[in-house]
Amino acid sequence: MAYLRDTDHPACRGSVLILALWVVFFLASLALATGTHVGSLLRTAERMQARVHARALAAAGAAQAAAVIMGQTTNAWDGVAKQSWNRQERFFKQVELPDGRFFSVVFPGHTERPAEKRFYGVCGEEARINLNLASTNLLMTLFVKVGELGVEDAQRQVAALLTLRGDAPDESLTGGGGSGYSPSIEKQQDSAGAPLRDVEALRRVMDDASYARIRPYVTVHGRGTININASEAVVLQVLGESVASLDASTDAERAVAGLVEKIVRYRDGGKAFEKAEYALIRMALQPLTADEERVLAAMTGQNVNVRKMLDVSSSAFGGTATLDDPESDGGGPVLQVDFVWDVEQRTFVMWRER
């Protein structure tokens, strides 16, 4: 009599079938998981490749903007007027790249004109107050007027900022803020680099609210003068009050406000100052009161104890290069690069991708 093998038993055959099905199910799940993982890796690789490509194209856009800057800075002045070389849209608006996409370069518009949020082009860093080169008096006026700090808090925070940038606070706070520049300007211009590398250094000396108020009006790039064609009214007001306060015979706040209003009105009329000379600016803004003329004289360096603080040109230019991709969702930019190009150093001194 032949013995039945264990595998011939119906129950055994069912167990083998179930085991086989589990093996098939496991292999299928493993294949599915592997395929999903590989697909995810491939999609990640594609995104990374697209990001690298976009970064290269945005960098190309910023490099082209730098080339325009180097080719145009022989012009005697720059500003925010539409006829300014740094606002010519043919250089900065939807410029075609080799792959058929486009880049644009923009910078923020003046806050007194909220309807016009951004301009095509680049803006000189001299439109802002240079934290490395500003005098104690200028910093005090900025911290009190714009940062909304009390005098004692402003003195303490200015002293901390002077320490950060390498000045001696005691000497700077008591030793003649009459100049528009810091007493150590020659030392800083001859050094390899500015002590403060970025504006965010302010966070180390002040609270977030004061920092947010001051941030739009300060820089660490440029030669330290203020471009009368490009600066916002707030910057001109702070500069004017910082030098006018040295003259006891001047009603500083009222005189500066009147002078700044006339400067802004002149620029809004599509005009620009081609030289930062007292006589020329005075003639363009007539009529001026006696106090307004004294403030203008101080800002243009007519006073013996005040250096010339106004200028009409810049030595460093900033903007945001945006890569416009028609195939992206919504047709918006796929990458943005904030940059500052220094004309004298011939290099980018700030580069941030976002």
User: Which has the closest alpha carbon to 246: 300, 186, 294?
Assistant: 294
Give per-residue pLDDT as tens, 32-73.
655 555 555 455 555 555 566 667 767 777 888 888 888 887
Which residues make beta-bridge pairs with 297?
none
Stated as kind and residue range, the H or E segment containing 6 is none
Query: In this structure, what token pair is assigned to residue 113?
Result: 């004109």
Using the predicted structure, report yes or no on whether residue 184 has a pLDDT greater than 60: no
What is the spatial distance between Cα 310 and Cα 225, in angstroms, rounded to a whole number? 6
Least confident of 177-181, 302-306, 322-326, 349-353: 177-181
**What confidence score (pLDDT) does residue 59 get?**
78
* 116 vs 335, higher pLDDT: 335
Query: In this structure, what token pair is assigned to residue 19?
Result: 């085991």
* 42 vs 352, higher pLDDT: 352
- How sure is the predictor about 214, in pLDDT bands with cuts at 50, 70 and 90? very high
Q: To the nearest whole percent, how much of the chain has pLDDT over 70?
A: 68
**What confidence score (pLDDT) does residue 182 get?**
45
User: Which has the closest alpha carbon to 166: 143, 196, 138?
Assistant: 196
- How sure is the predictor about 249, in pLDDT bands with cuts at 50, 70 and 90? low
pTM score, two decimals? Answer: 0.77
Q: Are 93 and 106 in contact (CB under 8 A)?
A: no
Length of the chain: 354
What is the spatial distance between Cα 216 and Cα 142, in angstroms, rounded to a whole number? 12
**What confidence score (pLDDT) does residue 100 get?**
79
List Cβ neighbours of 1 (8 Å cut-off, separation of 6 or more).
none
**What confidence score (pLDDT) does residue 191 get?**
38
